[in-house]
Amino acid sequence: MDKNPTFIGSPEQMYTVLVCPFCGDRKEILNLICAGGLIEELWSDTRVIMPYMPVIFPIQKCKHCGKYYFINEEQYINVDIDAFVERLSFSQLKEAKVQFGSQALTLWDKEKMYMEILRGYNETFRCQYNDRTDQPTGEDVMLFYETIDWLLHESKEVKKDYILYSEILREGGYFQECINMLNGVTDQTNMWIIRPILERAKNGDTNPVLLIKSGKKLAND
């Protein structure tokens, strides 16, 4: 079973309408209205908070039948949005993954799903975001390591980005491998990202790092 939503609308319109592939229910999602909005927060796991820039998540949940579906690659590109309006919670992402288990997912779907799971896990169980104290279950931890493993070994997107690759090594506890990758970097342009990641890796810290706060980089180039 490979179900994709019907997509109506164009980037110029205020709303994009997604039609649930399971029950036909319609869901309006607000389009990008203000490009170049201020980044309130950027984290090293690529979580971005941009309050003035409504964005669309790649996995949607139908409010009517409760099923999950991907906005497929072409549609996603059409709406020209690289992240978020309705962020699924970690427990919803787990439900979605179970449902997707019986579907043939494309590589692109998996790229999006595992990155969402990584950020969802970090958001839920790593306290820096919201002073949360929730503890992951054994199953949650297993899913986290499955995610790290998939992103490091199967993801093309992660392989293309050595900083993200290094960061995922660190978040998975592969500190020395992370340090080895980043120690040799001479290009100064990304040092505001690399330096904090490297420092955390040397301290044996797997938590995501806040890189931008209120539009300002927290580390120097």
Residue 214 CA to chain centroid, in angstroms? Answer: 20
18 is an interface residue for Zn ion by CB under 5 A: no
Among 18, 20, 115, 158, binds Zn ion (CB under 5 A): 20
Residue 159 CA to chain centroid, in angstroms? Answer: 15
Q: Which residue has the tokens 């505001």?
A: 192
108 is an interface residue for Zn ion by CB under 5 A: no
Any idea how long the chain is?
Answer: 221
Return the amino acid letter for 200: R
Applying CB under 5 A, which part among 17-25, 34-42, 91-99, 162-170 lies near Zn ion?
A: 17-25
64 is an interface residue for Zn ion by CB under 5 A: yes
25 is an interface residue for Zn ion by CB under 5 A: yes
- Per-residue CA distances from 95 to 25, 140, 158 (Å): 20, 12, 24
Q: State how far the Cα of 77 lies from the Cα of 80, in Å rounded to an integer.
A: 5
Kindly state the number of chain residues that form the binding site for Zn ion, as judged by CB under 5 A: 7
63 is an interface residue for Zn ion by CB under 5 A: no
22 is an interface residue for Zn ion by CB under 5 A: yes
CB of 65 to Zn ion, least distance (A): 3
Residues lying near Zn ion in the complex (CB under 5 A) are found at 20, 22-23, 25, 62, 64-65
